[in-house]
Structure 1
Amino acid sequence: MLLLLPGPVQTRPETRAAMGVDIGPWDDEFRAVVAALRERLRVLAGGREGEHVALPLQGSGHFVVEAALRSFVPPGGKVLVPVNGTYGRRIERLGREAGRAVVTLPCPDTAPVPPEAVAAALAADPAIGHVAVVQSETGSGVVNDVAAIGAVARGAGRRMILDSVSAFGALPFDIGAHPECDALVFTSGKCLEGMPGLACAVARIDRLGEPGQAGSWCLDLADVYRYALAAGWGRFRFTPPAQVVSALSVAVDLHEAEGGSAVRLARYANNARIFHAGVRELGLTPYLPAEQQGPVIVNVRAPDDPAWDLQRFATLLKTRGVMICNFYTTETPGFRVGCIGAVAEEAMRYALAAMRSVLDEMGLRRREAA
């Protein structure tokens, strides 16, 4: 099956093979793998030795986003959340449910968040201490200029939390060049092309206070750090997804062998260009114009035809060996196709041919959006 999802993604056979080995999570050999992987992830993020640390956490991206909000924004503290898609809205909810005072900056989901709008919001409310922003908004496919937003936060004397969940390993961001960034958070199952189940924050050590501020033992990144200092860098506080960690170590090997983030980004961007152009040739309407289209997912607006049915479309694609999301994440209906994972342009062209066949089978005559 060809997975064209924004995560979990298509993986390489070597990565999948690592999942087939039983592992004792407290074994010395595995602890060495964990310790080495933490350092490799820190370096990949641009983290500086002695200034930054990689803090792994069991769970999905939402777990580590919430952990960062709880660990770096004090209870009742104000955080500005620019929202130009579904995952910005999810940060908004995570912050509120964690008892933080969320200030929402609503933006259209068809363009990046304007850094000047962030600057204006910070100037209007001196009590805001943090900006929490999504790098790659996989609700619509747009990419935010988080380096520019970080510079705005730094200039205003504020801090930043970066949701790089669907960007890390491909899109650039050097945390070492952004002292305003308390934490960059990501997961194993997106652009690193590992298996889902492990999240991580690369964080500034000097911004990690004493454990307890988070209000959650499981989601306390300061506690993750203090435990590692006491027990060793290869230890998790609680039972880790050991096979997922092992597979991620292999996936990082493959990431390095491919040529690193820049080469991976080029492959994904080419996938997205091919698919964006291809759906237009099929008569469909991409959600974003080409100049705003990011490399991670292409969102397509629902055809204006009574025969359109997303679940049937996804099911018929699956019979042809292609899996896409069977739900939409924008205010107007559509479908999303991931351009990341261990796939290249031939996979995108195969998917386009399969979609043409499915659209014909469904009898769709009006394929443009309303």
Structure 2
Amino acid sequence: MLLLIPGPVQTRPEVKAAMAQDIAPWDRDFQAVYARIRERILAVAGGIPGVHATLPIQGAGHFVTEAALRSFVAPGAKVLVPMNGAYASRMARLAREAGRIVVELPLPDTRGAVAADILPALDADPSIGTVAMVFNETGSGIVNDAAGIGDALRGRGVRLVLDAVSAFGVLPFPLAEHPECDVLVFTSGKCLEGMPGMGFAVARMDRAEACAGQAGSWSLDLSDVLAHARRSGWGSIRFTPPVQAIAAFDAALDLYEAEGGQRARLARYAANRDVLYDGILALGLRPYLAREEQGPVIVTVHQPADPRFDLMAFVEALKRRGVLISNFYNTAAPTMRIGTIGAITPDDMRRAVGAIGAALDEVLPRAA
């Protein structure tokens, strides 16, 4: 089966094989693996040793995103969220339900946010101390200009919390160049092509220490993750983790480095995207985004206007042809979400385009 969703993604055999073992989380041999992973992540993030640290949290991306918001935005403080996608809406909800004051900035979900969108909102309310934003929106496929926005925030003394869940390892955002960023977060089962189960924050240690005690949750307190690492060692973890997923992630990082790192992976995903985007057009379908706004992680497509079209029937027809896509959408207009990330190639995408065409013929047969 060719898995084309924006995470969890299709993985290599080496990654799957790494899970086929029993592991004691606090065994010294495994602690060495865990400590090594933290260092490797810091390098991918472009962080500075001694300034930034990798702070893991078990669970899905929502868990580590909530941990970042709780840990770096004080209760009752204002946080600006650019609202241009489903995951921005989720980020706003996480912050609001954690007792932070969310200032929503409505933007269209058909283009990425830029600094010119953000600065007027900060001018209008100087009490906003943090911007929390999604780097790559897998609802529509847009990419927000995290680097440009970060540069603008740095000049204002405003902090940044960056949800890089579906961007990390592919879209560059070197932390050494962005001291305004308190923390970025991502998960193991996205662009680094590991298994799901672990969330990772890469954070400034001075900011984590300065914000200690404000999370309101032991489990989701990144400053406590840092304190534990300093107390018990970087190979130690607070609570029982999904150890097999961590072992698989170590193998996935080997493959990432062998491929050539961020530049090489972005090039492959961009090639996947281009094949799919062009193929969708050739089938007479309409991409949700203009080409210049289309990111490399997911291509969202308008559903056919034919009233006979049923998304679930199409997904099942496609699955019978060996291709699995999302069976839901996150846009106001009815769409289809087709991922371009994971251990897949442009040739896989060509096969997927052929399967999409055949599935469409099945669910929307032409009149004789």
Asked if these proteins are the same fold (TM beyond 0.5), I'd say: yes
The offset of 1:284, in angstroms, is 0.6
- 1:226 maps onto 2:223 in alignment: no
Distance in 1 (alpha carbons) for counterparts of 2:71 and 2:259 = 34
- 1:336 maps onto 2:337 in alignment: yes
What amino acid is the match of 1:75?
P
Aligned to 2:60: 60
Normalised TM-score (structure 1): 0.98
Residue 57 of structure 1 aligns to a residue whose secondary structure is: strand
What amino acid is the match of 1:96?
R
Q: Deviations over 1:42-101 (max 9, x none)?
A: 111011011000001100111111000000000001100001101111111000000000
Q: CA RMSD in A?
A: 1.0
Aligned to 1:41: 41
Residue 203 of structure 1 aligns to a residue whose secondary structure is: strand
**2:114 touches 2:148 (CA, 8 Å); kept in 1?**
no
**1:307 touches 1:364 (CA, 8 Å); kept in 2?**
no
Q: Deviations over 1:120-153 (max 9, x none)?
A: 1111111101001111111100011100010111
Normalised TM-score (structure 2): 0.98
Aligned to 2:301: 300
Distance in 1 (alpha carbons) for counterparts of 2:32 and 2:364 = 56
**1:70 touches 1:213 (CA, 8 Å); kept in 2?**
yes
The offset of 1:363, in angstroms, is 2.0
What amino acid is the match of 2:200?
C
The aligned runs of 1:245-256 (5 Å cut-off) are: 245-256=246-257
What amino acid is the match of 2:118?
V
The offset of 1:365, in angstroms, is 5.5
Aligned to 1:263: 264
- 1:214 maps onto 2:207 in alignment: no
The offset of 1:313, in angstroms, is 0.6
Aligned to 1:110: 110
What amino acid is the match of 2:85?
G
Aligned to 1:276: 277
**1:308 touches 1:364 (CA, 8 Å); kept in 2?**
no
Structure 2, unpaired ranges of 5+: none
Aligned pair in 2 of structure 1 residues 365, 149: CA closer, same or farther (>3 Å)?
farther
**1:325 touches 1:337 (CA, 8 Å); kept in 2?**
yes
Distance in 2 (alpha carbons) for counterparts of 1:64 and 1:122 = 26
Distance in 2 (alpha carbons) for counterparts of 1:120 and 1:36 = 43
Distance in 2 (alpha carbons) for counterparts of 1:227 and 1:195 = 25
The offset of 1:211, in angstroms, is 3.8
Structure 1, unpaired ranges of 5+: none
Residue 133 of structure 2 aligns to a residue whose secondary structure is: strand
Aligned to 1:236: 237
The aligned runs of 1:342-361 (5 Å cut-off) are: 342-361=343-362
Distance in 1 (alpha carbons) for counterparts of 2:318 and 2:236 = 43
Aligned pair in 2 of structure 1 residues 121, 233: CA closer, same or farther (>3 Å)?
same
**1:33 touches 1:249 (CA, 8 Å); kept in 2?**
yes
Aligned to 2:23: 23
Aligned to 2:202: 202
**2:317 touches 2:363 (CA, 8 Å); kept in 1?**
no
The aligned runs of 1:302-321 (5 Å cut-off) are: 302-321=303-322
Distance in 1 (alpha carbons) for counterparts of 2:31 and 2:145 = 37
**1:305 touches 1:364 (CA, 8 Å); kept in 2?**
no
The offset of 1:13, in angstroms, is 0.3
